[in-house]
Amino acid sequence: MRKLICIALFLIPQIVYSQDYPRKDFNLEKLTDEIFPIQDLDLNYEDLYENLAQLLSNPIDLNSITREQLQGLFVVNENEIDKFLSYRTENGPLLSVYELQSIPDWSRATFDKIIPFVTVIDPQSKLNSSLFKRVSEEKNNYLVIRIERSIETKKGYKSETDSSQRYQGSPEKLYLRYRVSRSNDFSFGFTAEKDPGEVLQWLPSQQYYGLDYLSIHAQVMNKGKLKNLIVGDYQTQFGQGLILGSAFGFGKNSETVTTVRRGNLGFLPYTSAGESNFFRGASGSYALSENFTLHAFFSSTKKDGTINQETEEDVVVSSFNASGLHRTPTEIQRRQRITETGKGIVIQFRTSRIDAGAIFHQIDFSEPVLRTTFPYNQFAFNGSVNRNAGIFVNFHWSNFTFFTEAAQTIDHGNAITAGLLGNLSNQLEVSMLYRNFSKDFYSFYSNALSESSTPQNEEGFYWGWKYSFNKKFTASGYMDIFQFPWLRYRSYSPSDGSEWLIRFNYTPSKKKYYYLYR
């Protein structure tokens, strides 16, 4: 699509030591292509760009980064994570990111991949200063202002278009974002957006604050036993994402090993322009002891959807709309019609080898959901309340990590996912994952690995591998076998299938790489 970019401003200064690695502007498209070079339909590239952009603009302090955060970067394997954590324990805080090159079994390629996402923060900068002073003096802040407009006039703006399909607003797309943050200390920011065709207006009574979409968050971390507090919009990531997985997670893709496991990251600020799949309210993490942490959250969000009048007194939700577009009278009528109230609690136990916990999450809808029934969706969620409970365990031993989560929709179906990933040698990495989801398991904030878009009505086994012949040549692949015990959309009987990938990668230099896949 041809677009005219009228204004673009992207400022990302960073705090660094005087002799630290010089941060530079990284090409986000090139970086994405290097990490995930094969275009994959299972990948949501809008979310991928968004996630990597946030990591680039908010690098993590190497002296406080956790195993889960390292795993969430998807660029280091279990052996490399072990070597890093051992190095930091034995040698104390890192003085520069250059020290990463001194870690045993860390190659130059690993260093080049991780360097955009990490930094070293002077610990003295956190001492003897108030939160207000730290925020006002923080150099890691950025502002993005973007205006886009299509050169050609679309049908929705033309006068001859039927009034029910005519766009009510201007053709410009407006985007505004600001964020100031420091790793493991604080984060404050907002995001506002108007899609092409949407109305620009100030009408607080109808949730219009200039632009159609507005998201705000305020986060503070590590204030004594209060480990994390977020007010505003946030995401959750616990276990393997069966119940609480609204944060970013990959599907099957060309990175065949490290992306299988979900990072147990807890509560994260929501900064995306996507208008669904987030919580709005408050969340907090409190350390009960050295090993036990209590996580709790509350949320109240407005959802787009279609409401039907069943009787004079009763109304029901027949469908939800997650597109976030409010251009035509019909789309505007569906805007923020349903209130979703959520609350949950997670009790987590963590040691150097074990990360385990129990989860409970409840969702209440302001109007009951009653979908039109077809053979394929007769087990879909209907009702006004959904409750999920589950447990998760991550166990690390040597170069291997075992991970699992089991969950149940109370009074309905179950779901389980279990996997293993690690290094059989310095050259060979492997991953395995088994999953089994009942046809009546309901989870609205899941990002568990699956063939379908939701963890429902599916059983499968995934096996991935990666072999490094030398520093320049690698091979990787995966095989996934799956079946669907019940009907699916446009499938009139239970079905099954398989998917596989093999990739050969040649990197003669830092700036050149070639790959062949099938």
Q: pLDDT tens digits, residue range 230-288? A: 999 999 999 999 999 987 677 787 888 988 999 888 999 999 888 999 999 999 999 99
Token digits of residue 395: 């166990």
Q: Which amino acid is at 154?
A: K
Say yes or no to pLDDT of 17 above 50. Answer: no
pLDDT band at 12 (very low <50, low <70, confident <90, very high): very low
Q: What is the pLDDT of residues 115-135, one digit of tens each?
A: 888 988 876 666 567 888 888
Backbone torsions φ then ψ of 71, nearest 5 degrees: -65, -30
**pLDDT score of 72:** 80
Q: What is the pTM of this model?
A: 0.88
**pLDDT score of 508:** 84
What average pLDDT score do residues 452-456 get? 91
Residues 76/267/431/441 CA torsion (nearest 10 deg) = -160
**pLDDT score of 49:** 67
136 Rama class: left (phi>0) / alpha (psi -120 to 50) / beta: alpha
pLDDT band at 289 (very low <50, low <70, confident <90, very high): very high
In angstroms, the CA 183 to CA 58 distance is: 7
**pLDDT score of 191:** 95
Beta strands in 195-225 (DSSP E): 201-203, 208-210, 213-223
How does strand 201-203 pair with strand 208-210? Answer: antiparallel
Q: What is the pLDDT of residues 52-68, one digit of tens each?
A: 777 777 788 999 898 88
Give the domain ranges of the chain: 224-517
Say yes or no to pLDDT of 313 above 80. Answer: no
First to last CA, the chain: 29
pLDDT band at 14 (very low <50, low <70, confident <90, very high): very low
Q: Using the 8-state DSSP alphabet, how is residue 126 labeled?
A: G
In angstroms, the CA 518 to CA 503 distance is: 7
Q: What is the pLDDT of residues 403-435, one digit of tens each?
A: 999 999 999 999 999 999 999 998 999 999 999
**pLDDT score of 124:** 64
**pLDDT score of 123:** 67
**pLDDT score of 8:** 39
Identify the sign of the CA torsion 95, 101, 105, 110.
Answer: positive
Q: What is the pLDDT of residues 461-473, one digit of tens each?
A: 999 999 999 888 9
Answer whether 371's CB lies under 8 Å from 380's CB.
Answer: yes
What average pLDDT score do residues 478-492 get? 92
In angstroms, the CA 397 to CA 484 distance is: 34
What average pLDDT score do residues 509-515 get? 74
Q: Within 10 Å of residue 499's Cβ, how many Cβ atoms?
A: 14
How does strand 60-61 pair with strand 118-119? Answer: parallel
In angstroms, the CA 143 to CA 153 distance is: 30
Q: Which of 27-36, 305-314, 371-380, 404-413 ranks highest by mean pLDDT?
A: 404-413
pLDDT band at 111 (very low <50, low <70, confident <90, very high): confident
pLDDT band at 27 (very low <50, low <70, confident <90, very high): low
Q: In degrees, to the nearest 5, what angle opens at C-alpha 58 toward C-alphas 57 and 64?
A: 155
Least confident of 306-315, 322-331, 420-429: 306-315
**pLDDT score of 312:** 62
- Using alpha carbons, select from 416, 406, 410, 415 the residue that is nearest to residue 385: 410
- Using alpha carbons, select from 441, 389, 75, 362 the residue that is nearest to residue 239: 389
Least confident of 31-40, 64-73, 156-165, 342-351: 31-40
**pLDDT score of 235:** 94
Residue 390 bridge partners (DSSP): 359, 407
CB half-sphere exposure, 227, CA atoms < 13 A: 18
Say yes or no to pLDDT of 11 above 50. Answer: no
**pLDDT score of 129:** 77
In angstroms, the CA 14 to CA 116 distance is: 12
Token digits of residue 144: 């993005």
Q: 224-517, which class in CATH?
A: mainly beta
Q: What is the DSSP string of 299-357?
A: EEEEE-EEEEE-SSS-EEEEEE--S----SHHHHHHTT-EEEEEEEEEEEEE-SSEEEE
In angstroms, the CA 51 to CA 386 distance is: 29
Rounded to whole angstroms, what are the CA distances from 418 to 150, 391, 492? Answer: 46, 12, 29
**pLDDT score of 395:** 95
14 Rama class: left (phi>0) / alpha (psi -120 to 50) / beta: beta
pLDDT band at 34 (very low <50, low <70, confident <90, very high): low
- Using alpha carbons, select from 452, 331, 441 the residue that is nearest to residue 386: 441
Q: What is the pLDDT of residues 187-237, one digit of tens each?
A: 999 999 999 999 999 998 888 889 999 999 999 999 999 999 999 999 999
Backbone torsions φ then ψ of 316, nearest 5 degrees: -135, 155
**pLDDT score of 25:** 57
pLDDT band at 9 (very low <50, low <70, confident <90, very high): very low
In angstroms, the CA 491 to CA 487 distance is: 6
In angstroms, the CA 190 to CA 58 distance is: 15
> CB neighbours of 168 closer than 8 A, spacing ≥ 6?
197, 198, 199, 327, 328, 329, 332
3-state class of 226 per DSSP? strand
Answer whether 196's CB lies under 8 Å from 240's CB.
Answer: no
Q: In degrees, to the nearest 5, what angle opens at C-alpha 144 toward C-alphas 167 and 43?
A: 70
Query: Per this entry, what is the length of the chain?
Result: 518
**Who has greater pLDDT, 52 or 21?**
52
Say yes or no to pLDDT of 298 above 90. Answer: yes
Answer whether 332's CB lies under 8 Å from 208's CB.
Answer: no
Rounded to whole angstroms, what are the CA distances from 147 to 85, 193, 210, 225, 455? Answer: 44, 10, 15, 43, 37
H or E stretch at 138: none
**pLDDT score of 35:** 61
